[in-house]
Chain A
Amino acid sequence: MKSLQEEHLNYQTSCMQNSRIFTLQKSVQVLFQMLFWVPVAGLSLLLVYNTLPYFSFSKDFSFIEERSLLFKSSFYTACFYTHIFAGSVCIITALIQFSRYILKKSKPIHRWSGKLYVAVVLFLGAPTGLFMSFFAKGSFWERSLFMFMASFWFITTLKGLSAIHKKNVIGHKIWMMRSYAMAMTAVTFRVYHIVFYLMNWGHLENYELSLWISVIGNMFFAEWIIYRQSKNYLKSFATT
């Protein structure tokens, strides 16, 4: 029979090994989180930074020149500036929302920035995006995709809001992840667009492919993360 001392020593060593494994797992988790959030945050802020010159209301931008016919309409112009303002606010507030540190330290910041995100999406970003989707570049399918994006963004944000009103935190997290995936198509679309541009793809083919990959890719990525985190994936589509 082993003495009590030997048993105690064995127990201590096994605990130390478990804690080391636990620490290693945690550090790997943090590393992957950093690998995800650092480029996402950097590219999001870069997109917002490149959007700021548009608020000089100058027409000396290639995006506006390309659509000079549409910008003759004051309503379309108003929708455009409203949409890019809403998109910029959404991207910045969403970065704050996923911070656990801010959630722990100050819940009011999370709540107020969340309300701002929801208001901007439901009343500004999604409706103006839906209107502009009718005049988007590409074929009928690309316009339909933009319409789907605007509608899906609206519905997922609304579901996230209703989930937290019913005190369903997990449902709220899941629906807000889907909403954020739609908001981030603006960033991922540009990444793919530049990659295919450097590979000398034709402009229209590049545009269409980048659009489809960014939307479908973001949706699949969000669903994959939800699937990994949730115990019952199919129940994630319910709000109650």
Chain B
Amino acid sequence: MKSILYVGATLMISASIYGFVDYRKTSRSKEFKKMYDSKEETSPVVTTEKTNTVVIKPETVSKEKMVVIKKQPVETKEVVEKNSGKKETVAPVEKIEPETTAVNTSLKNNGAAETDKPVKTKKVLSYKLFSRAPLEEKYINKELKSEPKKTENKEQ
């Protein structure tokens, strides 16, 4: 009984001393201080989707400035055939460029043009959560993504 006590006490004392010394060494590094800092926001998980919608209000159209949709003029080229000598106009392929859309600036200022749809991410309750892993979204999503890959490997 005494031998068990002495061995156990020795292990506990040496663990505490070594732990304290090791802690003093590692606590000086910046990496250790930032190790447990979560990069994600601690606010509730509510994501918003911003969609730009065009709201047509006939009352405000005349007053507010409108952005006119601009397109590049279609360039026509004269193609001269050497043999026939006829001139034909061939419309080249229109360049594909992003177009500006009509945006009502007043509504943009009010924020009504941007509709924020609060989308709550569903929290999946899995038996795998009952482990030592941290319950942070980035880790849980990673583990859940790795699960179908593992099942696919098993099926193959």
Contact = CB atoms under 8 A, between A and B. Distances in A.
Interface of A: 43, 46-47, 50-51, 54, 60-63, 65-67, 69-70, 73, 75-76, 84, 118, 122-123, 126-128, 130-135, 137-138, 147, 150-151, 154, 158, 161-162, 165, 190, 193-194, 197-198, 200, 202-207
B interface, over-half SS: helix
Interface stretch (B52-60, B69-77, B94-102, B134-142): B134-142
A137 B37 CA distance: 10
Contact of A134 (B20, B40, B128, B142): B20
Contacts of A197: 123, 129, 135
5 contacts: A130-B16, A131-B15, A190-B131, A198-B125, A202-B42
Given A66-B139, A200-B44, A203-B42, 17 more contacts: A47-B130, A54-B132, A62-B139, A62-B142, A66-B35, A66-B134, A75-B22, A122-B8, A126-B8, A126-B12, A127-B12, A128-B15, A158-B4, A162-B1, A190-B130, A198-B123, A206-B135
A66 B23 contact: no
Nearest to A65: B139
A194 B129 contact: yes
Given A51-B131, A66-B134, A134-B22, A127 B15 contact: yes
A84 B35 CA distance: 21
A126 B40 CA distance: 33
A70 B35 CA distance: 9
B143 A134 contact: no
Interface string B12-30: 1011101110110010010
A interface, over-half SS: helix
Nearest to B31: A69
Given A61-B133, A126-B12, A158-B8, A204 B38 contact: yes
A134 B8 contact: no
Nearest to A50: B131
A207 B14 CA distance: 28
B5 interface: yes
B16 A204 contact: no
B131 A47 contact: yes
Residue among A67, A84, A134 having the largest count of chain B Cβ atoms under 10 Å: A134
Contacts of A75: 18, 22
B1 A50 contact: no
Given A127-B12, A198-B123, A51 B132 contact: yes
Residue among B18, B125, B133 having the largest count of chain A Cβ atoms under 10 Å: B133
Contacts of B31: 69
